[in-house]
Amino acid sequence: MTLKVALAGAGAFGIKHLDAIKLIDGVEVVSLVSRDLAKTQDVAAKYGIAHVTTELAASLAIKEVDAVILCTPTQMHAAQAIACLQAGKHVQVEIPLADRLADAQAVAALQKNTGLVAMCGHTRRFNPSHQWLHHKIVAREFAIQQMDVQTYFFRRSNMNALGQPRSWTDHLLWHHAAHTVDLFAWQTGSPIVQAHAVQGPIHPQLGIAMDMSIQLKTASGAICTLSLSFNNDGPLGTFFRYIGDTGTYIARYDDLYTGKDERIDVSQVDVSMNGIELQDREFFAAIKDRREPNASVAQVLPCYEVLHRLELQLGG
């Protein structure tokens, strides 16, 4: 059976998903949704997608559509995920699930009622580097004592990953911190019981903090220090240092090194080195196998509970 998929959001991340899906058998993107019709038609032509629309409802009305991947602005995620579930469609929402705890809870509650697959794009769970470490943790060969994480961008204007103007504002707490908060709890296998945050000045035009520092502690005693910035004029991305009882490891997206900067081969961890592809494979496999996926909305909901606590600390 070929899964028929609609993808909403033809920007930088939507294209990453389209490239990934091309590598996965038994899946076909049959509808593409985005707000700029001309640009959407251009992308659809490149990927051989027959149906193009500017309205998600038009895609949801297509009976043959089994599932939807949402790569839309953060502020739309929860409402669109709910619309997909109400239409009887499985849904994968790019990170973050929501930018308010109540909205994330509403998605999780509806998923439970429908029994459909609802998953969030917490990609770090799927990167081969982090998977390699997770296998060692599960095998009790490595236990995290501390994680030191840097999430750095140079984004003093509202641009996306392709250098194009964004129609929405990104957020250090509700988007970029979500990756690490969820990963830390998943890797330690323990709930986060302490969380503290401070932030720098609010940008006068963008209306968001451009720098932030977060401290976390799990019930198991592991700690995490997370530094985030949109002001860093240097290497971009997120860099993870895992300090454990049997070694130190540094993860840079899909690459992994020892604490002495010796490269570790993670090419055999999974069927691909592309975290987005692995994330999509999990989504489609869960639908076909009728099971809960890794990074289901139920599994990642505690992350958004922590983000909510931090927002309250910051005066949000």
pLDDT of 121 over the 70 cut: yes
| Secondary structure (3-state) at 50 | coil
Instruction: Name the amino acid, one letter, at 274.
Output: N
Kindly give the interhelix angle for 101-114 and 297-313, rounded to the nearest 10 degrees: 170
Q: Would residue 28 be called left, alpha or beta, if left means φ above 0 and alpha means ψ between -120 and 50 degrees?
A: beta
Q: What is the CATH number of the domain that holds 94?
A: 3.40.50.720
Which pLDDT does position 162 carry in this prediction? Answer: 56
pLDDT of residue 165: 60
Could you list the residue range(s) of the whole structural domain that residue 118 is in?
3-122+276-294
Whether 216 is in a domain gets the answer yes
Domain check: are 53 and 107 in the same one? Answer: yes
d(CA 106, CA 120): 14
Mean pLDDT of the chain: 94
Quick one: average pLDDT of 273-285? Answer: 97
Pick from 27-41, 137-151, 166-180: least confident: 166-180
pLDDT-above-70 percentage for the chain: 96
Mean pLDDT value across residues 244-268: 95
**What integer pLDDT is reported at residue 134 of this predicted model?**
98
Q: The tokens 């690459």 sit on which residue?
A: 255
Mean pLDDT confidence for 274-289 = 98
Cis peptide before 96 (omega within 30 of 0): yes
CB atoms within 10 A of CB 189: 15
Sheet order of strands, 3-8 included: 51-53, 27-33, 3-8, 67-70, 90-94, 118-121
305 within domain boundaries? no
Q: Could you tell me the pTM of the whole model? A: 0.94
CATH number, domain with residue 201: 3.30.360.10
